[in-house]
A = this chain, B = another copy of it.
């Protein structure tokens, strides 16, 4: 009975749900004729990373050079660091490029000039273009900068042009399949314009896009040779809210000890706060803010969504308040455990630093902050 020994906030991992999410995305990629390059920033775990190998995955994306080092140490040999390269980590870049094929992202001539000057050996460059999200990447009006960057790369023996990359992060603001597909069509269209500009010159280039909402919804990725979703490995309440998944597909849940109950206002105080869940929150259809949704927790650690779920309505540093009803509060005592689905599983996993698999095993994660 898994729950019996849990003393503190614990991130439960259901391997069956997780493997099923991986299998489904691998199938979607195959059917769409694109490679799957999963983004490993969500799970940050050697063990979970290895589950992907059985589905033919041999290339990954990460969100920092230190995370690249963590996965390179577990024999991943084709790693895209999917954000504009941090030039201050040039030493780590030179160490990593000895061990693995490293695809760095650039969006300025200045960054390429710096790399050209300080690289020990050749790395691949993905040029980031902006599909309408306006966080990173060059816009269509800046295509002359992309041209100049490619020219610079072509003349360098330290840089190799690997292809184009984009991230349509605005899909996270969508609600429902129709909106997701609108963003997908628009952003994929912008991306394809760039792809068409360079594909005659570089017919073999890698063209990479994809986030969990569009990759969970679209069946085709015109212009792309690979997709790069990450969150789908666990999904979460935000993805359910967007329309990317069913609640039953969410593969992680927090188990939190109940510290106190207040029948006069139907509230529980749980051990589990901002340092465990993160402070990401979700506005529910009724306008209320939720920091997590209560699920029924069984003694073996598995969980099921409730018909009328209760919400975590506030989070302090280490503690949360859960709004329940009169019937439920009578059944709960201090010392009990309750299960909570996270609003944003990537952030919750990063806070928790490890998982407890329903098979009873502790699953470790990257501890980047220690380096």
Is B269's CB under 8 angstroms from A110's CB? no
Min CB distance A132 to B, Å, is 13
Asked whether A260 and B84 contact (CB < 8 A) given A63-B317, A64-B318, A352-B369, the answer is yes
| Interface residues in A188-214 (C-beta closer than 8 Å to B) | none
- Please tell me which one of the listed residues B41, B66, B257 contacts residue A317 in the complex, with CB atoms under 8 A apart: B41
Is A259's CB under 8 angstroms from B334's CB? no
Asked whether A83 and B279 contact (CB < 8 A) given A6-B88, A7-B92, A89-B7, the answer is no
Is B64's CB under 8 angstroms from A260's CB? no
Q: How far is the CA of A317 from the CA of B135 in the complex (A)?
A: 13
Is B88's CB under 8 angstroms from A7's CB? yes
* A94 contacts B by Cβ under 8 Å: no
* A353 contacts B by Cβ under 8 Å: yes
Is B316's CB under 8 angstroms from A169's CB? yes
| Interface residues in A94-117 (C-beta closer than 8 Å to B) | 107-108, 110-111, 114
- Please tell me which one of the listed residues B8, B89, B111, B370 contacts residue A353 in the complex, with CB atoms under 8 A apart: B370
User: Which secondary structure dominates where chain A touches chain B?
Assistant: mixed
Is A139's CB under 8 angstroms from B264's CB? yes
- Please tell me which one of the listed residues B7, B87, B318 contacts residue A335 in the complex, with CB atoms under 8 A apart: B87
* A249 contacts B by Cβ under 8 Å: no
Asked whether A333 and B110 contact (CB < 8 A) given A41-B318, A369-B353, the answer is yes
| Interface residues in A39-98 (C-beta closer than 8 Å to B) | 41, 63-64, 66, 83-89, 91-92
* A33 contacts B by Cβ under 8 Å: no
Is A83's CB under 8 angstroms from B265's CB? no
Is A347's CB under 8 angstroms from B274's CB? yes
Q: How far is the CA of A88 from the CA of B107 in the complex (A)?
A: 51
- Return chain B residues, CB-CB under 8 Å to A271: 64, 83, 86
- Return chain B residues, CB-CB under 8 Å to A314: 135
Asked whether A8 and B63 contact (CB < 8 A) given A114-B335, A317-B350, the answer is no
Q: How far is the CA of A134 from the CA of B267 in the complex (A)?
A: 10
Most buried by B among A86, A107, A321, A370: A86
Asked whether A280 and B274 contact (CB < 8 A) given A87-B334, A316-B135, A316-B169, the answer is yes
Asked whether A259 and B347 contact (CB < 8 A) given A7-B88, A41-B318, A88-B8, the answer is no
Is B334's CB under 8 angstroms from A108's CB? yes
Is B259's CB under 8 angstroms from A83's CB? yes
Is A354's CB under 8 angstroms from B333's CB? no
Most buried by B among A88, A314, A337, A370: A88
Question: A230's closest neighbor in chain B, by CB?
Answer: B317
- Return chain B residues, CB-CB under 8 Å to A280: 274, 279
Is A334's CB under 8 angstroms from B279's CB? no
Q: How far is the CA of A171 from the CA of B37 in the complex (A)?
A: 48
Min CB distance A323 to B, Å, is 12
Q: How far is the CA of A84 from the CA of B334 in the complex (A)?
A: 9
Q: How far is the CA of A334 from the CA of B316 in the complex (A)?
A: 35
Min CB distance A113 to B, Å, is 10
A-B contact sample (4 more), CB < 8 A, given A110-B333, A274-B347, A353-B370: A7-B88, A114-B334, A136-B260, A279-B280
